[in-house]
Amino acid sequence: MAKGASLSGFPEWLPQERVVEQRVIDTLRHIFELNGFLGIETSAVEKGSSLLKKGETSKEIYLLSRLQDVGNENDTPIEERLGLHFDLTVPLSRYVVENSGTVAFPFKRWQIQKVWRGERPQEGRFREFYQADIDVVGNGELPAHYEVDVPLTMVEALEKLRELGVPQATVHANNRKLSEGFYRGIGLNDIEGVLREIDKLDKIGADEVAKLLISQCGASEKQAHACLELAQLSAENGTQLREKFGTLCKAHGVAEDGDAYALAIEGLETLAMIVDEATKIRPGAVIADLKIARGLDYYTGSVYETFLEGAESLGSICSGGRYDNLASQGKKKYPGVGMSIGLSRLMSYMLHTAHATASRVSPAAVLVAVWDEADRAASNAIARELRNRGIAADVAPTSVKLGKQIKYADKLGIPYVWIPSTTDDNGEKTREEVKNIVTGEQIPACATEWNPADEYTHQTVVIAHNN
């Protein structure tokens, strides 16, 4: 991270780090568009009333006030004030309703933007970070196959990032209906409460969660342990999932003719479909993991979290789910399913653990040297010729000694220094040459014909193995 970034929680990268972030964004966009997702951007702000819809995170909103209104901010109710968006799902639901007459449904969209959360400073969490989202939103209804299409697109995108240092990703899927049906089947009714506590499993462990289920959600010890048993259930295919769940229901006396069981089976069948369909294409990439709860209360069906092999401590780097009630307009509903990559968190891992960095600091492949300020126009002309041919070129800042100009190129990682023709001490024109300052090789060259070696053509992302 850029040293001395004075505002904690607001990450800034050095230019060579920003190259990595830009490459990640470009790669995600490419895969999303290859899969037919449309790109949009929404404004950074939403009305307070939109932002406050969603329960828990509402505490983390940044509200805006115009400098001229300072002191009178509170004349306006929070619902009417503007705040920065804290995710890209709430803005999407507003955008879809506003443009429902124009966009085609199902509306497949990608969106990569910064979001802001007014976390407490001492927590050292990001207060500004990139999210990379895909969602599919239907008009009235949304076919279940999108619940497997979305995680598969994300897996494909994360797979593409492996060459940039991202480890193998596995999507862990669950279904809210399955959980809710089971909880109701064993006699629990505070579904949101139970999900909220189960969500803490990785953080505080099973014993603490059991205590909370008992103290906060009115569970008996037996019910609490049934919830934990469900959470421990995972499966790599539908058959295994059905078997394990059936056994669990029997063990805890869930009646097979009740509404609760029917709800659970509805969720189970969707989850089984997801895992089985995904297995056909990328075996092991999407697994059923019944501890996935997602703290947010707007999910109504499938929920997803994504973990990286060997970097599980990062937590989920790509999460989401299906939401049937987030967007509506009168009686019309716009159900959706989506996932969101926490890009800044992924970036921290890539930069600081995987040591991804730019192959060179400057995008320029060539620095054109300048013999004398009077000759600058000649050096500019060479640079222009190279640029016309798609070769990024910079021109030396000053006509200091050639050695110093080479040092400037070296500091920027520019591999070639172009040495224009000049007049030597005997009044003879010298040859125009280009020097590879990595290998030391120096050859005669002409700006209309010369090309850099393949590995130096573009600024790329490399993994610095020497760190």
Site for a second copy in 146-165 (CB under 8 A): 149
81: its two tokens = 């004030």
Figure out which of the listed residues 55, 59, 253, 310 binds a second copy, where binding follows CB under 8 A: 59
Q: How many residues bind a second copy (CB under 8 A)?
A: 94
104 binds a second copy (CB under 8 A): yes
The crossing angle, in degrees rounded to 10, of helices 238-251 and 221-231 is 170
Chain center to CA of 10: 16
393: its two tokens = 């070129």
Q: In this chain, which stretch among 104-112, 169-177, 205-213, 418-426 interacts with a second copy, using CB under 8 A?
A: 104-112
Figure out which of the listed residues 34, 204, 255, 464 binds a second copy, where binding follows CB under 8 A: 34
List the interface residues with a second copy, window 353-412 (CB under 8 A).
361-364, 367, 373, 376-377, 380, 384, 387, 390, 392-395, 397-398, 408, 411-412
Figure out which of the listed residues 53, 54, 125, 128 binds a second copy, where binding follows CB under 8 A: 128
Return the SS3 of 118. Answer: coil
- In the complex, what is the shortest distance from the CB of residue 108 to a second copy, in angstroms, rounded to a whole number? 7
- In the complex, what is the shortest distance from the CB of residue 15 to a second copy, in angstroms, rounded to a whole number? 4
Give the whole-angstrom CA distance, residue 444 versus residue 450: 9
Taking the least distance from each CB to a second copy, the nearer of 63 and 402 is 63
List the interface residues with a second copy, window 410-449 (CB under 8 A).
411-412
Find all residues with CB under 8 Å of 15, minimum gap 6, and list them.
Answer: 358, 361
- In the complex, what is the shortest distance from the CB of residue 207 to a second copy, in angstroms, rounded to a whole number? 31
Long-range contacts of 383-390 (CB under 8 A, 24+ apart): 383/418, 385/447, 385/448, 386/418, 386/447, 389/448, 389/451
List the interface residues with a second copy, window 253-282 (CB under 8 A).
277, 280-281
Taking the least distance from each CB to a second copy, the nearer of 64 and 255 is 64
Geometric angle at alpha carbon 55, from 297 and 117, rounded to 5°? 110
Strands 433-436 and 169-175: unpaired
- In the complex, what is the shortest distance from the CB of residue 52 to a second copy, in angstroms, rounded to a whole number? 9
List the interface residues with a second copy, window 285-344 (CB under 8 A).
none
- Buried/exposed code over 101-126 (b: 16+ C-beta within 10 A; e: otherwise): eebeebbbbbbbbbbbbbeeeeeeeb
